[in-house]
Amino acid sequence: MISFDGKFSTNDLDATFQGLGRDIFFVQIGAMDGVTFDPIHKFVTGLGWRGLLVEPIPYLNKKLQDNYKNCDGLIFADTAIADFEGTIEMSGLNPDTIPAGVFAAGAFGTSTLMPDRGKMAGIGMPEEIAQIVKENTMVMEVPCCRLGTLLAKHEITKIDLMVVDVEGADWMVARQLSLTDYRPRIVYLEYDHLNAYEKKACANHFRNHGYRIYIDAHEAENFLAVRVG
């Protein structure tokens, strides 16, 4: 069993992000449209945060850039983060074929490299909804690279906050960030689609590098690592 340092609420998370202040640089992997269910949007727009936003799905990347068109200091990347360089298949809901009103807008941000996990796999859904997902899934080939490759490309040397929401591939992405070279103050990632081994590996990884670790008080959906010192 994983021993966490505590649980956090939405208010706790907001206070933690607010405490980072204005002069920070963030990396967000799986940025979707930058608004829908986005935990940092109000801080990016309200505090002028600078950062790198990664969203490989073309129509979502366009929405992302449109939603942040009045913000300075942002870099947009249209590549997936994988553990190799090249191209990779991603699965997601097809917005052109899905029946109107079946899903909320956030459902279109469930594109993933691992369609056997989470929402794209129909896990936790009523059978009829899972069937709609199956019938309206599109598979896209997108460019991909390692996290380190992307950071080097944009000459990023400082990260204060890392946010990862990639529908089951979260640990694969998070483990690529060198906690020796970057030492972000906060790491926030989706946790509930990881398998048991990955959850334990993730918790131990951050704890062993001097972070306190917290679990989402709401259904243990997300994971928060806060650097000590």
| pLDDT values of the chain reduced to their tens digit, one per residue, 229 residues | 899 999 999 999 999 999 999 999 999 999 999 999 999 999 999 999 999 999 999 999 999 999 999 999 999 999 999 999 999 999 988 888 876 766 666 666 688 999 998 788 878 778 888 888 888 898 999 999 999 999 999 999 999 999 999 999 999 999 999 999 999 999 999 999 999 999 999 999 999 999 999 999 988 899 999 999 8
Closest CA to 27 of 223, 128, 176, 142: 176
Edge to edge, the sheet with strand 86-93 lists: 80-81, 137-145, 86-93
Q: What is the C-alpha separation between 68 and 77, in angstroms, rounded?
A: 13
Q: What is the pLDDT of residue 1?
A: 84
Question: Any idea where the domains of the chain sit in the sequence?
Answer: 6-85+143-227, 91-139
Tens digits of per-residue pLDDT, 122-135?
787 788 888 888 88
Q: What is the C-alpha separation between 93 and 111, in angstroms, rounded?
A: 7
Q: Pull the structure tokens for residue 197.
A: 């081994």
Q: Which residue has the tokens 């913000």?
A: 71
Q: What is the pLDDT of residue 104?
A: 63
Q: What is the pLDDT of residue 121?
A: 81
Q: What is the pLDDT of residue 110?
A: 81
Q: What is the pLDDT of residue 107?
A: 65
Tell me how far the alpha carbon of residue 218 is from its chain's centroid.
17
CATH number, domain 6-85+143-227: 3.40.50.150
Q: What is the C-alpha separation between 71 and 43, in angstroms, rounded?
A: 11
